[in-house]
Structure formats: C-alpha cells, structure tokens
Structure 1
Amino acid sequence: FESELFGHRAGAFTGADRARPGRVARAEGGTLVLDHVEELPLASQPKLLRLLAERRYAPLGGADALADVRFVAIAGEDLAARVERGAFRDDLYWRLEVLTFRLPPLRERRSDVLPLAEALLADLALRFARRPELSERARAWFPEHDWPGNLRQLRNLLERELLRSRSDRLDPEPPRPAAAAIPKSLEQAEREAILAALAFTRGRQGRAAELLGISRKGLWEKRRRLGVP
C-alpha cells in the first residue's frame, strides 16, 4: 500500500533498483480516488490520516513531501459500522466525513441499468474497436436482475461477452447467484480468459495481451505456466 500510494526511493527495499513516484505524486494538482478505502489495513490507516490532515507524506526511504491533491474516497460498505467493529479508525473516518454521497445499488435504481450498460458498451467499443449492442432479450432482463456486484459486475459481464462473441449483437445469459456458481481456481479462470482473448483475436498475441491488460511477454509467460497452446 505505502509504496503504491507514496512511492519509494531507490534502495528502499529489496528489488527497488530505481525510484518510483507513487499515486499521490502522480496526481499532483489533480484528484486521487481512493477506492475501497474500507479495506485499508489498520496499520496503514495512520499514514493516510496524516496525508489527509497535514497534506504531507514520505515515500519509502525518502524525506517528507507536500501533497497538492484533492481526495475522493469510495467505500463499498458503511464506514461507521466498521468503526463500531474496530476495523476502521474513528479519527480517519471523521477526516473523510466532509462531503458524503450515497450511491444506491443498482437494484434500487433499475431504470439506470440500461443507460449505464449502453455507456459502458460505448467505452468498451473504443477498446475493442467494435460496435456492440444488446439484444432485445438482454434489454428485457438487465433491469430485472439485482446486480449484487453493481457496476463492476455489469461491466465485467459486458466485457466477457465481447470476448466470447464474434457478433456485435450481444445476448448474454443472466448471471447465476454466487452460491450456485461453480468455484474455479485462479489458474482455471486465467486459462479461460487467455483462451477467450486468443480466440477473439484469432491468435494475435499482441492484441490478446492488450485486451487482457498485460504485456506480450506477460501473456507468453502465463501461457507457458498454464499450458495454453
């Protein structure tokens, strides 16, 4: 967490052969989004508190620096409840509690599901260089589904369907409840994602790696490790 957020100097730890700016430094003069802030370990919370309170931080192995950054924290659960359970510092909670917006889950705003899906498809269309659209069947069941994973689940479903389908008219099946899903190992999930990307790109390594968000070398190493032909 600290290296990712604050950065580090060369030699700060084993393997740190060069200095690397953290997300705070890269967001200088702008806005930094802290997603899933409720998952921050208790041991790391004082450092975030200092950053918010004093606008100062120290890269690993380095001296203090000032931060000219606006922070937006996103929590996937009630922070006040985590404070009561002792899982989140109350002083950090009150430091974050400046201006709060509650975004209702998709099951409470079903009329937003299709517009959100269309916006996500427009974004994915640029990445995949395609012109996807939802089938009438999908447009019928999308607003009726509860979407327990909210926007992430919706985006993942659309992206997965784009990888699987050669047609631009997407007709995904409704997701099964988590309890009914067949558990998969990480290796199995990785293997299926690689096979889907290779099938979609007709074996073009560079394009498949781009779709998977990894380097071409990373794709080659994963294929060798997982036995993907």
Structure 2
Amino acid sequence: MAPASNPASSDSASDSASGPSAAGEGVHLDLAGLREDYARAGLDEADVAADPLAQFSRWFDDAVAAGVHEPNAMVVATVDADGTPSARIVLLKELTAEGFVFYTNHGSRKGAALAAEPRCSLLFPWHDLERQVRVEGVAEPLPRATVEAYFAVRPRSSQLGAWASRQSSTVPSRAELEESYADAEARFAGGEVPVPDAWGGYLVRPSAVELWQGRTGRLHDRLVYRRRADGAWGLERLAP
C-alpha cells in the first residue's frame, strides 16, 4: 500500500516551488513622478576641447571643485565570454594621453571578462553637475612595472586586502575572509607587501567619448567624440 500523502509536506513543496514569485508579491515602486528639470548649463561644440581627454580633464576639475563625492568613481561595464553583461563601480586612478587607468584583480569577474572581450565601457555619473561622461574603448593590461609602482603607494591595509581576497570567488563566511586577512598580516609582518601575481591594472584606450549635459525639457546636450581611421577625433551632436 502506498503511504498516505502528508498534507504538510505537499504544502511545503508547493510553497518552495512558488517561493521566488511569492517573495516578490506586493513589491511595487511608482516612480513616474520622480523627476528633475535640469537647467544648470548648456554644452556647445564651440566650447569644448578638440581632444576628448583634454575635455574630460576640464570636466573632472569642475567635478572636484564642485565637491562631487568621489569624482573618479566610474561604472565599468564588460561582457562575459558567454555574452552576459555586468557592471560595477571602480575608481579611476590615472588619466594619461593614451586613456583611462584602473587597477583590479585579473582573476575577478571583470578580469576574466576583459581577457575574453577587451572592449568595454566606462561611465562617470556626475549628478551634482547634471553631467555624465560615457567612454567606449579597449582595455589592455598594464606593464608589471607600472602595477608595482602603483601598488607600492597603496595603503598597507589595501595591499594586504589584495592578498586576502580572491576577488569574485565564493567566500563561506565573513570570518574566513577576516582570517585570510590576518594570515596576510602575519605573513608580511615587518616587511614590504609584494604585488600578488593575479593583481594588476588596465589602460582603456578610448574609441568614443560622449559628453552629456542635462537641459530643461529633456532636450539634453550630447556631444560625442569618435576616433577616425586616421587617428584624429571627430565631434558630432546626438539627439537626446
């Protein structure tokens, strides 16, 4: 004879199957009326530099002067080998004549993504100034000497953290992460902390740089620099 069904077990299975959708029931945000009308400034072709990196430098200085919190914080968007997009905030650490420099763990998700597809996008959201800058380009690993020079000036706690964390890997608990940090402290006690083999950085060479300035009535100003085949930069206006 087959055992009698257990109503409780049956209900439990049903609840488990519908759990994710049930958890979202009743969640609703009505954001239709949440808006601002931007009117701080305009953006004209005659007012920008011929080189996008020079113009970025001008706007970055404006962001610093305006007291924007962490003006060097940028969203780095990548695509995994299977085509899955991902984005995260990373700090810009240098602007050179070649492009934008940031540092990370090559073994992280972004590192794996850039190894498979070096094309990426950067976004600087300077809300206080009603501005944003969007960059499209190709990321290339930095020379080891450059990485070592930057790593040497990082706070010691950040150096140790680079050893303690296998970025993007699963961690069983916070306690285990802290134990790994303590192990790194003990390992390098009284001495310099070297650069981990998997830690490095990237230079993003831009192929396009878009300047966005909020305007009233949503008629925003969008100017985009695009690198031409001869290496020179062209400038065009985009509809908002």
Q: Normalization by structure 1: what TM-score?
A: 0.19
- Decide which structure has the larger Cα Rg and report it: 2
Structure with the higher fraction of residues in strand conformation: 2
Of structures 1 and 2, the one scoring higher in RCO (CA 8 A, sep 6+) is 2
Structure with the higher fraction of residues in helix conformation: 1
